[in-house]
Structure 1
Amino acid sequence: MTKRDKDLLLKNNLKKGTNLVAVRSHNERLVLQLVREQGALTKADATRATGLSANAISVLFRALEEDGLLLRDKPIRGKIGQPSTPLRINPEARHYATLKIGRRSLELAVVNFAGEIVSLAHQPQPFPTPDKTLAFVRNELSNVLRAARKSRKSISAMAIASPNELWSWTEEFGAPREEMEAWRTFDLVRALEDIVPWEVLVENDATAACRAELLFGTHADKQNWIYFYVGTFIGGGVVLNGNIYTGSRGNAGGFGPMRVPDQAGGNRLVDHASLVVLERMISAQGGQPFDIYDETQDWQPYETLVGPWISDAGRNLAHATVSALSVLDFESVVIDGALPAQVKDRLVAEVREQLEETDLQGVHMPEIEAGTLGHRARTLGAAATLISAEYVNELNSIGA
Structure 2
Amino acid sequence: MTGRIGGGSSARTSPNGIYPAYRGANQVGLRASNERLALSLIRIHGQLSKAQIAEITGLTKQTASVIVRSLEAEGLLSAGRPVKGKVGQPSVPMSINPEGALFLGLRLGLRHADIALVDFVGGVLEQRRLSYGAGEMGEIARIAYTAIAEMRSRLTAAQHARLEDIGIAVASDILAAVANGKGTDGPESAWAEFEDLALQMGKETHLSIYLDRDAVAACSAELAYGLAGGAPDFLYIFIGHLLDGGIVQHGRLGFSRRDARPGIGRILVPSASGGVAPLGTSVSVDDVGLAPGSRAPDPELRKWIEATSSSISMAVHSASALATFRGIVLDGLMPQWVRAELVREIREKLSAIGASDLAALFVREGTSDRQAAGLGAACIPLLDRFFLQSDANGPAGSAEA
1:95 aligns with 2:95: no
Cα 1:204/1:144, change in 2 over 3 Å: same
- Relative distance call for 1:155 and 1:12 in structure 2 (3 A) is closer
Structure 1 contact 36–88 (Cα < 8 Å) conserved: yes
Partners of 2:322 and 2:373 lie apart in 1 by 26
SS at match of 2:121: coil
Matching of residues 339-358 of structure 1 within 5 Å: 339-358=334-353
Rounded Cα–Cα distance in structure 2 between residues aligned with 1:269 and 1:126: 30
Amino acid aligned to 2:361: P
> CA distance change for structure 1 residues 167 and 335 in 2, over 3 Å: closer, same or farther?
closer
Q: Structure 2 vs 1, CA of residues 306 and 91 (structure 1 numbering), >3 Å: closer, same or farther?
A: farther
2:318 aligned partner: 323
The answer to whether structure 1 residue 113 and structure 2 residue 120 are counterparts is yes
Contact 1:322-1:360 within 8 A present in 2 as well: no
Is 1:278 the counterpart of 2:288? The answer is yes
Deviation at 1:301, TM superposition (A): 5.3
Secondary structure of the residue aligned to 2:100 is coil
The residue type equivalent to 2:42 in the other structure is: V
Is 1:64 equivalent to 2:59 in the alignment?
no
Q: By how many angstroms is 1:95 displaced?
A: 0.7
CA distance in 2, matches of 1:147, 1:307: 48
The residue matched to 1:232 in structure 2 has which SS? Answer: coil
Q: How much has 1:339 moved relative to structure 2?
A: 3.1
Are residues 71 and 342 of structure 1, via their aligned partners in 2, closer, same or farther at CA, if it must alter by over 3 Å? farther
**Does 2:27 correspond to 1:20?**
yes
Higher RCO (C-alpha 8 Å, min separation 6):
2
2:144 maps to 1:134? no
Distance 1:272 1:68 in 2: 47
1:228 aligned partner: 237
Q: Is the 8 A contact 1:229 1:337 kept in 2?
A: yes
Tell me the CA shift for residue 69 of structure 1. Answer: 0.5
State the Cα distance separating 1:93 from its structure 2 match. 0.7
TM-score by length of 2: 0.79
Corresponding residue to 1:30 among 34, 37, 40: 37
Counting matched residue pairs gives 373
Q: Which residue of 2 aligns with 1:283?
A: none
Q: Is the 8 A contact 1:217 1:372 kept in 2?
A: yes
Distance 1:362 1:13 in 2: 21
Tell me, yes or no, if the aligned pair for 1:338 and 1:375 is still in contact at 8 Å.
no
Read off the aligned partner of 1:345 and give its amino acid letter.
A
Which amino acid in 2 is paired with 1:113? F
Contact residue 158 and residue 201 of structure 1 kept, 8 A: yes
Tell me, yes or no, if the aligned pair for 1:245 and 1:397 is still in contact at 8 Å.
yes
Residue 380 of structure 2 aligns with an amino acid whose one-letter code is T
Question: If the length of structure 1 is used for normalisation, what is the TM-score?
Answer: 0.79
Letter in 1 for 2:313: A
What residue is the counterpart of 1:155 in the other structure?
A: 163
Question: After superposition, what is the alpha-carbon deviation per residue over 1:317-350, rounded to whole angstroms, capped at 9, x for unaligned?
Answer: 1121111112212222111223333332222222
Give, in angstroms, the shift of residue 120 of structure 1. Answer: 1.3
Alignment of 1:178-327 (within 5 A): 183=190, 186=193, 187-193=196-202, 195-246=204-255, 249=258, 252=261, 254-263=263-272, 267-279=277-289, 292-293=291-292, 297=293, 299-300=294-295, 305-327=300-322
- Structure 1 residue 352, shift from structure 2 partner: 0.7
How far the C-alpha of 1:161 sits from its partner, in A, is 1.5
| Unaligned 5+ runs, structure 2 | 1-15, 395-401
Q: Distance in 2 between matches of 1:345 and 1:148?
A: 40
Distance 1:370 1:392, change over 3 A: same
- How far did residue 67 of structure 1 move? 1.0
* 2:79/2:93 contact within 8 Å kept: yes
User: For residues 211 and 143 of structure 2, what CA distance do their matches in structure 1 show?
Assistant: 17
> 1:229-277 CA deviation, whole Å, 9 max, x = no partner?
1222211132123322247957545433432123269844245532111
**What amino acid maps onto 2:295 in structure 1?**
Q
Residue 52 of structure 2 corresponds to: 45
Q: What's the CA shift for 1:377? A: 7.7
Q: Counterpart of 1:286?
A: none
Alpha-carbon separation, structure 2, partners of 1:35 and 1:250: 34
Distance in 2 (CA, whole Å) between partners of 1:13 and 1:242 is 13
Contact 2:232 2:249 in 1 (8 A): yes
1:58 to partner: Cα distance: 1.6
**Given that residues 215 and 384 in structure 1 are in contact (C-alpha distance below 8 angstroms), is that contact kept between their aligned partners in structure 2?**
yes
SS in 1 for 2:218: helix
Q: In the alignment, is the contact (CA less than 8 A) between 2:234 and 2:325 conserved in 1?
A: yes
Give the secondary structure class of the aligned counterpart of 1:256.
helix
Q: Check the 8 A contact 1:206/1:237 in 2, yes or no.
A: no
- String of CA shifts for 1:333-388, please: whole Å, max 9, x gaps: 11122333333222222211121112438867422122233374873333222123
